[in-house]
Amino acid sequence: MHDDVSLPVLYSFRRCPYAMRARLALAQAGHAVQLREVLLRDKPPELLAVSPAATVPVLVLPDRVLVHSLDIMRWAWQGHDPDGWLTRSEAPEHQALIDANDSDFKRALDRYKYAERFPDRPASAYRDDAVVALIAALEPRLAVQPQLGGAMPCLTDLALMPFVRQFAAVDAAWWAQAPLPATRAWLQGWLAHPLFATAMVASPCWAPGDAPVVFPGQSLCPTPGPILQSRRPVASSG
């Protein structure tokens, strides 16, 4: 049995898409962490002490603190990437997709989600912006291959999926009939994937003194200790 308190600490918020992509990567790469679910409106001093910016996710390692989701994702596969999850995402076109997701698409997505706060344009205009910023580039790729990584998924698939999920959920009726069948199938595949279920397992809010909550939990691996310590990949397809 491993020593749970010696595992890296991950500060996380279940519904945050940045935290989701970090949890997806950690689970896929087979890293066990102590999950500390936080409330964004009531962040624990322990989080503020390690990351003054106080965004989630934050991964506390013995020698450093990673405060950006993409750094956590890259760390997950660094040094042990037998299936190329990290390597394939390093192609310039993947970096461009991730950059587009995290900048123009995210901005348009937030306006589309909260269109009532940005009343100078209709929600559909923000949706169009989001399509131009990212979604339009996904469809032709996913029409010829099942994953952004190719035949197999890569970091890029997991980095984008939580955000595309939010985009699809803003107006499910529009999404269901949009001329985006390949992107829809890709998202559906991930929403039904056991890795997503593992990453979305709910955990009570953390408080100092709580027993460690080991993530990923038992739902993914019946014997999480030895399997996770050997860092065996737990999912290989979308």
Ligand X SMILES: N[C@@H](CCC(=O)N[C@@H](CS)C(=O)NCC(=O)O)C(=O)O
Peptide linkage before 153 cis (omega within 30 of 0): no
Could you tell me the smallest distance in angstroms from the CB atom of residue 74 to ligand X? 12
143 binds ligand X (CB under 6 A): no
107 binds ligand X per the rule CB under 6 A: no
* 56 contributes a contact to ligand X by CB under 6 A: yes
Q: Which of 51, 84, 78, 49 is nearest to 66 (CA)?
A: 51
Residue 62: CB minimum distance to ligand X, A: 20
- Say whether 178 sits in a helix, a strand or coil: coil
Q: Does 60 bind ligand X (CB under 6 A)?
A: no
The single residue listed with the structure tokens 């269109």 is 115
- Our CB check for ligand X shows the closer of 55 and 115 to be 55
Candidate ranges 64-72, 77-85, 89-97, 219-227; the one touching ligand X (CB under 6 A)? 64-72
**DSSP per residue over 81-145, as a string?**
-TT-TTGGGGSHHHHHHHHHIIIIIHHHHHHHHTGGG-TTS-HHHHHHHHIIIIIHHHHHHHHHS
Q: Nearest Cα to 71, choosing from 132, 155, 160? A: 155
Decide whether 90 or 124 has the Cβ nearer to ligand X.
Answer: 90
Site string for ligand X, 187-206 (x = CB under 6 A): --------------------
Q: Does 18 bind ligand X (CB under 6 A)?
A: yes
Report strand pairing: 214-215 vs 9-12: unpaired
Gyration radius of the chain's alpha carbons: 18
Residue from 55, 80, 150, 212 in contact with ligand X (CB under 6 A): 55
Q: Which stretch binds ligand X (CB under 6 A): 13-21, 122-130, 195-203, 205-213?
A: 13-21
